[in-house]
Amino acid sequence: MSVQDLNAIARQMVAKGKGILAADESTGTIKKRFDTIDVESTEDTRRAYRELLFTTEGAEKYISGVILYDETLRQSASDGRRLADILKEKGILPGIKVDMGAKDLAFAPGEKVTEGLDGLRERLAEYVTLGAKFTKWRAVISISKHGKPSDYCLDANAHALARYAALAQEAGLVPIVEPEILMDGDHSIERSAVVTEKTLRRVFAALYDHRVSLEGMVLKPNMVLSGYDAPERAGVEEVAKATVETFLRAVPAAVPGIVFLSGGQTEEESTAHLNAMNRLGPLPWELSFSYGRALQASALQAWRGNPDNVAAAQAAYLHRAHMNSLARSGEYDPSMEK
């Protein structure tokens, strides 16, 4: 596949007014989400929940792609159609999480490196046959007062992200490159900005070294926030300004789009932040969303595993998708919340 073809898919992923649903929770993570609504996590409950999301009528107006977990890409809906085909029929691109999770980094207490490179070429080839159009790999970076993140951790993760991205492009799949800096801790927004810029610079240096085409990828970063336990947390305008300034310094304009993760923000916070950033435009890249929790929290609460609640859960998901779609062009207002 040519760079032009990869670029066309990347641009479809960040099309105006649209964003990406991250529904690629691993079996461990979805269990944690289901625990909050007292639903047992089984292959069947996971299928029912994902089917509910993917069959939501009208979601395709706001959602360009969905990131799936391996199990989901292979699963079929109650009517026998493959879940990935349901998305395709709506014009939504199926994507696949291909990393094997963040593991302890040797000789770096409290730091992680993401695994999953061994055998990745073969797994990507299979994902192509299963209909995937793009992929995701998440690196996890922590901030502490002293020592974290270490240069060692940043370089190990940048290297893995770049090797992954090159293999994805070789297979004809658009890589979502996700270096997530966790906002746990009491650090200031200024510290978030410094660490985010340093991380992004290292990631883009590695991508260049590994011959990755920036035109054929999508970046999925954290927003620049105050730590969740910081004594005085920055407000919406300050977050928008710090995030956009950081990305203008560190993300080349050749990247078609930046899709933010929500990372533990509430649904309304993550929408307000995205909206405020898009009001600071024009910007060199599309600024969009690839939320997991911030697109699903209300839907999950509305569902609670009860088939009678499917319509209410779909309405909650559609509402969040709509609000975030408006935030893509700075047209969201908190008074639009129900």
Question: What is the binding site for ligand 13P (CB under 6 A)?
Answer: 22, 138, 178, 261-263, 291-294
214 token code pair: 């920036």
Phi, psi of 305 (to 5 degrees): 80, 5
Phi, psi of 331 (to 5 degrees): -105, 10
Q: Which is nearer to ligand 13P, 33 or 81 (CB)?
A: 33
Query: Burial level of 312, CB count in 10 A (0-12/13-18/19+)?
Result: middle
Buried b (16+ CB within 10 A) or exposed e, 161-194: bbbbbbbbbebbbbbbbbbbbbbebebebebbbe
220 is an active site residue = yes
61 is an active site residue = no
Q: How many CB atoms sit inside 10 A of residue 86's CB?
A: 19
Phi, psi of 33 (to 5 degrees): -65, -45
CB of 191: closest distance to ligand 13P in angstroms?
A: 20
Q: Which is nearer to ligand 13P, 23 or 39 (CB)?
A: 23
| Active-site entry in 18, 133, 136, 220 | 220
Q: Which is nearer to ligand 13P, 22 or 63 (CB)?
A: 22
Q: Which is nearer to ligand 13P, 272 or 284 (CB)?
A: 272
Please, are residues 221 and 196 in contact by the beta-carbon 8 Å criterion? yes
Q: How would you classify the pairing of strands 286-291 and 257-260?
A: parallel
| Active-site entry in 25, 51, 111, 178 | 178
Residue nearest to ligand 13P (CB): 292
CB of 79: closest distance to ligand 13P in angstroms?
A: 27
CB of 338: closest distance to ligand 13P in angstroms?
A: 21
CB of 17: closest distance to ligand 13P in angstroms?
A: 19
Q: Which residues are catalytically annotated?
A: 178, 220
